[in-house]
Chains A and B, each alone.
Chain A
Amino acid sequence: MSGDSGFLFTFFNLAVAKQYWPAIGMGMLVTVGVGLAVVATGTALGLALAVLRSFGLRLLALPIVVFADVMRSLPPLVVMIVLYFGLPALGLPMSAFAVTWVALSLVLAAYAEESIWAGILAVPPGQLEAARSTGMGWWQGMRCVVLPQALRRAVPPLTNRIIATTKNTALGSVVALNEILNNAQGATSHAGNPTPLVMASVAYLIVFMPLVFASRGVERRWGRA
């Protein structure tokens, strides 16, 4: 292995770092931005689908189940590539941000729907009965009694899945999204030095380690129903 100074010069080159840290910083903004957008739309869509499924209509439930199965069976990168190349062919060109956002939202929505649905099933039917027996409508009963309990049960699997999905924003680099990895790869080849890749690693850790710690705390607080 090369000497100490060689290692540092290669992977922790301060000159290179100074030149390219803005690019990495911009990439962090994009990563966080896409991540937040995906979590917001993915969980909202998943919740909506789970509620629709709880109506009990087979015609409604079947496409939801198919959607959830398909989106959980396909690798997220494949979903992204299909959208990226397929949509322009349909006359619907989408930016890299949009493709990444839509693809990951669909995947997260599928997992969210399954977790929340499992939570809804776990709530004893007597709960809704009791609510309805006091004159509450079906939706009131769901909103005030069933869903709060269902969501509590869904939190542990959901937080894990949210972390996994937001990490997949790195896949956006494949469709040329200017997030951390993409910018770092560009910088690396430009500088002929892998320091930007190390910077990217640090950037990802800065973004995601807090998320992992937070999820442990959330699980501990909400996990005990």
Chain B
Amino acid sequence: MPILDIAGLHKSYGSTEVLRGVDLQVNTGELVCVIGPSGSGKSTMLRCCNLLETPTRGRITANGHEVTSSAVNINHVRQDIGMVFQQFNLYPHLSALDNVSLALRKVQRKPRDEADQLAQAALEQVGLGAKAGNRPAELSGGQQQRVGIARAVALKPHIILFDEPTSALDPELVEDVLNVMRDLRQRGMTMLVVTHEMAFAHAAADRVVFMDGGVVVEQGTAAEVFETPREPRTRSFLARYGSARS
């Protein structure tokens, strides 16, 4: 059974329809990359998965919970779905350690010591164990995003959603974050990543999904989509972006 199952997802803002029927599945341990032009609805689809956006129609099931049902306990479900944001969204008034441990303490009710230990471990995992006491303002963009990843990882979710995690980073800082993501993949984390990093998607993804105009146009293995795209829209998008980046 797939960890994440999106069926017939529609989303409209007033009279503007952003998602026009998206079907997508993510299996355990997969790294799925979603690519596509701006405005294709990629981020909106991602944000529907943990109900940061409310779908207009459709069904989303994650970890066996029906996210779109009216009876769902969304706070409970969100502990099992991690999210990493394009703008990091770290809490500026807390240290890196507290950023990571906050949910452990407040949501999972873990005692301070245990939460801090788990948080420290998560920071070590992303290579920032030494920066636990620093505030976000004292960290580079890449370091902040890695703290964001640690914050998501610390709750031990079954799947992590990445919303353009490197788009707000200076180019030289992107690779550090991608390395952390590759490492997560090695450890068996299921990941759904919306990204513009084509080289990363090509090399690391198990499956690639191309979205345009609010629908999934094409999906397949990385090799299939990048090297032998079937759809003309896919081809023209890849031609513009290039399937490999230097």
Contacts and interface: CB of A to CB of B under 8 A. Distances in A.
Asked if A and B form a direct contact in the complex, defined as CB atoms under 8 angstroms apart, the reply is yes
Contacts of B52: 129, 132-133
B125 interface: no
A133 B84 CA distance: 9
Nearest to B106: A140
Contacts of A144: 102, 106
B78 A127 contact: no
Interface residues of A, number: 19
B103 A135 contact: yes
Contacts, number: 68
Nearest to B102: A144
Contacts of B106: 136, 140, 144
Contacts of B102: 131, 134, 136, 144-145
Contact of A149 (B81, B92, B108, B148): B92
A135 B89 contact: no
Contact of B50 (A127, A133, A136): A133
B103 A145 contact: no
Contact of B89 (A130, A137, A149, A225): A130
Contacts of A127: 89, 91
Interface string A76-89: 00000000000000
B200 interface: no
Interface string B65-82: 000000000011111011
A34 B52 CA distance: 46
From B76, B79, B87, B93, residue with most partner A Cβ within 10 Å: B93
Contacts of B159: none
A91 interface: no
A148 interface: yes
Given A130-B151, A134-B83, 12 more contacts: A127-B91, A130-B85, A134-B79, A135-B75, A135-B77, A135-B103, A136-B103, A137-B75, A140-B107, A144-B102, A149-B93, A152-B93
For the complex of A and B, the 9 pairs showing the least CB-CB separation, nearest first, are A134-B103, A130-B89, A135-B79, A126-B89, A133-B83, A135-B78, A135-B107, A135-B75, A148-B93
